Structure 1
Amino acid sequence: MNEGTIVRSIFKAYDVRGVVDDALTESAVYRIGHALGAEACERGLGAVVVGRDGRVSGERLLNALAQGIIQAGVDVIDVGMVPTPVVYFATRYLGTGSGVAVTGSHNPPQHNGLKMMLAGETLHGERIVGLYDRIVADSMYTASHKGRVMQANVLPAYVDAIQKDVQLARPMKIAIDCGNGVGGVAAMEVFTRLGCDVTPLFCEVDGTFPNHHPDPADPHNLIDLQKILHDGDAEVGLAFDGDADRLGVVTKDGQIIYADRLIMLFAQDILKNHQDAQVIFDAKCSAHLSPWIVASGGRPVMWKTGHSLMKAKLRELGRDAVFAGEMSGHFYFNDRWAGFDDGLYAGARLLEILSRCASINPDETLSGHANGRVSERLNGLPQGLSTPEINLHIKEGEGVSLVQAFKAHAAFDAQLNAVDGLRYDFVDGFGLIRASNTTAVVVLRFEANDEVALKRIQSAFRDVLRLIAPTLHVPF
């Protein structure tokens, strides 16, 4: 097979991703499916679950993927249009341990991709590149008898599993925004079955995303939810990304509760029953998080950004790591759930905690459980003065060398953590610089106790960047 038949650039650090009918063609997805099937066959795996999000290209790419997998004699179980966490759930529920979600996550409508798992391991890094190498080398196994393509409806079992696991202390009034993503096929049922009065927003699946982009990490995409909370009687708002493996949260008074603060809330609750357990978080998270985990009786573990890398770390640490979370809004519950990122389940667990708070109506306090109202509970979580992620656009392949040069020239009075890029923790804040694993950008983020400290840390970073890359535009 000629190397030109498939493009190397779609094989990312955490998944396969690209523009449909450009780099990510049906032919490319078929070949990736065949390579994945060949690897599954070599490992003695008999079946792979496949599912897709609500993008316009999803059905035809899923069909191409399935046809590729069965060439290797491996069966395919098609669970249809479902959230990505439902695919993960199905790999356990159906006993395959292996699955592929055809999803573009929060990327623009013309994008799509593949999140892949074999024998319980989410593929990342060299394992993903290995599929490309196999295709280029034409190292594919074609069975004398193709595998079968079968259908299975696991969505009812998934909803049942959440309902059995999560118990709210009282009924709640909530608003949810699915952003026209695939979370809309399950969200209303999940939360009404838990006993919530739900105000839905953009829960109709539409792969063109006509209302706003399905990425709750961007504050602009939460404006509609903030308005619903302001105008209505909902106590809290939940937002999901395009494939519903991430969660965003807005309070009644319109405050966005970013993921590092939600990690605090989840960790505190889980550690009540799992003292001295480990809690994992990525290097973008607040400096307030680690001491909070320690004070809650846990052991903090800072790790690398990326859903595949987080799941690999959870797998490495085993049951001793009870929870993980990322600044992007991925949450991994490893205490009562199966350790995969699941925005809908995370929303349910959040409501379980918040239902112990008093309701908006002061006459509806919950005797013995009330610990303030919902917004007060969320807004009371510690936070510093922080910036959003700042992306510096660079040429392809320059990110690692720029970060290395930064390290060589930085002489800060700070503690350096190099687990994922360079994070410099000062006595009054931190600065982070890391090369993106998916796009040609260098990512920076800053947090400090006050404005003076924030400007000082940013100025120190800016001076080094101007020294090592004088032509680079630095917007701070």
Structure 2
Amino acid sequence: MRHPLPAAELFKAYDIRGIVDTVLTPTAVRAIGHAIGSEAAVRGQRAIAVGRDGRLSGPALAGALTAGIRAAGIDVIDIGCVPTPLTYFAAFELGCASCVSVTGSHNPPAYNGLKIVLDGRTLHGEAIQDLRRRIAEDDLVEGAGALRGADVRAAYLDRIVGDIELARPLKIVLDCGNGVAGAVAPELFRRLGCELVELFCEVDGRFPNHHPDPSRPENLQDVIRALRETDAELGLAFDGDGDRLGVVCKDGEIVFPDRQLMLFAADVLARVPGGEILYDVKCTRNLAPWIRAHGGRPTMWKTGHALLKAKLQETGAALAGEMSGHMFFKERWYGFDDGLYAGARLLEILSARADANAALKALPDATSTPELNLKMQEGEPFELVRRLREAALATPSCFAEAREVITLDGLRVEFAHGFGLARPSNTTPMVVLRFEADDAAALASIEAAFRRALDAVWPGLALPF
């Protein structure tokens, strides 16, 4: 059957995403589902597990997706309203190797989308664009797939509880931000032996308390307040679909994911000597020497959960992580990003220390900025970074004191006392910037160098630093 062609803007680098009932309509999702089912059929798949997060649009969009997949002759296993990691887990547990999570992740309530895994591989890049091509060319398989339900929640909880053992009980603040992690996280951490101070664990797709994105410090203020007002040792927070983790110390210090990765790397390398650890270009420059000091092999890679998962499969690395909070454990786990499991692994490590906070605060740190977003028009971020890269590689370079220019993903410039990063977002029209240095003076110097370089290649920008 021929479907109306969904808007091109839905087809992002790592997933399908858009504003509900504007571009992401049930009609569009049914067409995309038919394309997903057709691609699954070509890859020899017979069934796809479908889960959804707690957004209000989830049931209607999951229904449209299911109808589209079944129209290609592929069976659908409906696993209900669950965190995205449980949808990934279902692909293993149910033996179907393919799944789709209907989720808007950490985006505002008006958004929703699809994260797609076929035959064990997350679709990204050209594979995402090829879904739209299939719809445009009516290159679709026809059939009549079956529908059945399955509940993998108990198996998921049992799997983690059977893998994780805390050396002592911990009292923690647990903030689910009214995202779908609230349907699972409280039971998981209680079963692990934790006492909980629960914040916003009721699933509510309106997100009435704060936005479920723990990468933004403003969204962790409720955790910081609860730690101050209770005797909880530590705070954990999750994003809207539960695949990212935020960590807060007792004194309110936020332990950003690149420092979390240090703790995880040291733990994993104790059992996998010489193992490879992947991290994205936004991570601290303290990470590579830390990994080497613990007997591992550090590899910097491109930002994006799908890209890191693909690299993890390609290299056989034991662990990967990125600055946004996605952690991928291959050792003892399946290699997909899972904020709940990452939280459990963190508590396992810290419970073996007499002072959990001291262990976190002892991790190497630096003076740094959070991610800074320079908003531009569609297409402009890639052009800006292209110009900046050319200027950085030219002779003489626009960065006179640069020690190394890394063009793996955008532009990362290493200096003697820190680094600066500019990369185009693959999901929204903006340039992501981040700076790190040994001290405030060095940070100001690196920011000034980037300010001059950016002004030279694109005058008049309203820079966020």
Name the TM-score, length of structure 1 as normaliser: 0.95
Give me the whole-angstrom Cα distance separating, in 2, the residues matched to 1:200 and 1:112.
26
The count of corresponding residues between Structure 1 and Structure 2 is: 458
Match of 2:134 in 1: 134
Distance 2:408 2:372 in 1: 19
Q: Structure 1 CA distance, aligned partners of 2:359 and 2:134?
A: 52
State the shift of 1:217 in Å: 0.5
| Distance in structure 2 (CA, Å) of the matches to 1:29 and 1:2 | 14
CA distance in structure 2 between the partners assigned to 1:61 and 1:338 by the alignment? 27
1:399 counterpart (350, 361, 381): 381
Residue in structure 2 matched with residue 385 of structure 1 by the alignment = 367
Tell me which stretches of 4 or more aligned residues in structure 1 moved more than 4 Å: 1-4
Residue aligning to 2:230: 232
Q: How does 1:256-271 map to 2 (within 5 A)?
A: 256-271=254-269
Which residue is 1:311 aligned to?
309
User: Paired residue for 1:251?
Assistant: 249
Deviations 1:252-287 (A, max 9, x none): 111100000000000001100111110000000001
The DSSP-based 3-state class of the residue aligned with 1:112 is strand
- Listed as ranges, the matches of 1:174-193 within 5 Å are 174-193=172-191
Q: Which runs of 5+ in 1 are unaligned?
A: 359-372
Amino acid at match of 2:14: Y
Aligned to 1:195, what secondary structure does the other structure show?
coil
In structure 2, runs of 5+ residues without a counterpart are: none
Find the aligned partners of 1:2 and 1:391 in 2 and give their Cα distance. Answer: 40
Name the residue aligned to 2:444.
455
Q: Write out aligned runs for 1:63-462 (5 A).
A: 63-143=63-143, 146-318=144-316, 321-358=317-354, 373-410=355-392, 411=397, 412=399, 413-462=402-451
Other structure's SS at 1:204 match: coil
252-261 or 387-396: which moved more?
A: 387-396
Q: Distance in 2 between matches of 1:157 and 1:6?
A: 36
| Equivalent residue letter for 2:79 | V
Contact 2:164 2:192 in 1 (8 A): yes
How far apart are 1:3 and its partner, in Å? 8.8
Partner residue in 1 for 2:455: 466
Partner of residue 367, structure 1: none
Aligned equivalent of 1:365: none
SS at match of 1:264: helix
Deviations for 1:27-54, whole angstroms, at most 9, x for unmatched residues? 0000000001111112211100000000
Which residue type is aligned with residue 418 of structure 1?
T
Secondary structure at the residue paired with 1:174? strand
| Matched-pair identity in % | 56
CA distance in 2, matches of 1:314, 1:237: 28
Alpha-carbon separation, structure 2, partners of 1:197 and 1:279? 32
Q: What CA distance in whole angstroms lies between the structure 2 residues aligned with 1:108 and 1:475?
A: 21
157-166 vs 392-401, which deviates more?
A: 392-401
Amino acid at match of 1:454: L
Q: Distance in 1 between matches of 2:23 and 2:307?
A: 25
Instruction: Summarize the alignment of residues 1-80 of structure 1 with structure 2, pairs less than 5 Å apart.
Output: 5-80=5-80
Report SS of the residue matched to 1:433: strand
Are the aligned partners of 2:237 and 2:245 in contact in 1 as well (CA < 8 Å)? yes
Provide the rounded CA distance (Å) in 1 between the counterparts of 2:2 and 2:337: 37
Q: What is the CA distance between 1:4 and its match in structure 2?
A: 6.2
Q: What is the CA–CA distance in structure 2 between the aligned matches of 1:5 and 1:15, rounded to whole Å?
A: 17
Provide the C-alpha distance between the structure 1 equivalents of 2:285 and 2:42, rounded to a whole number of angstroms: 45
Q: Which residue of structure 2 lines up, in the alignment, with residue 363 of structure 1?
A: none
* Structure 1 residue 5, shift from structure 2 partner: 3.5
CA contact (8 A) 2:17 2:112 kept: yes
Q: Distance in 1 between matches of 2:310 and 2:464?
A: 34
Give the secondary-structure state (helix, strand or coil) at the position aligned to 1:272: helix
| Counterpart contact for 2:50–2:102, Cα < 8 Å | yes
Q: Give CA-to-partner distance per residue, 1:99-155, whole Å, 9 cap, x none.
A: 000000000011000000000000000000000011111111112xx1111100000
CA deviation string 1:37-79 (max 9, x = no partner): 1111122111000000000000110000000000111100000
Amino acid at match of 1:73: G
Shift of 1:2: 8.2
TM-score, normalised to structure 2, is 0.97
For residues 142 and 284 of structure 2, what CA distance do their matches in structure 1 show? 50
The aligned amino acid for 2:300 is M
Pair 3,417 (structure 1): closer, same or farther in 2 beyond 3 Å: farther
Q: Is the 8 A contact 2:2 2:135 kept in 1?
A: no
Q: Distance in 2 between matches of 1:475 and 1:347?
A: 32
AA aligned opposite 1:448: A
1:350 aligned counterpart, secondary structure: helix
Task: Label 1:430 to 1:356 Cα distance change in 2 as closer, same or farther (>3 A).
Answer: same
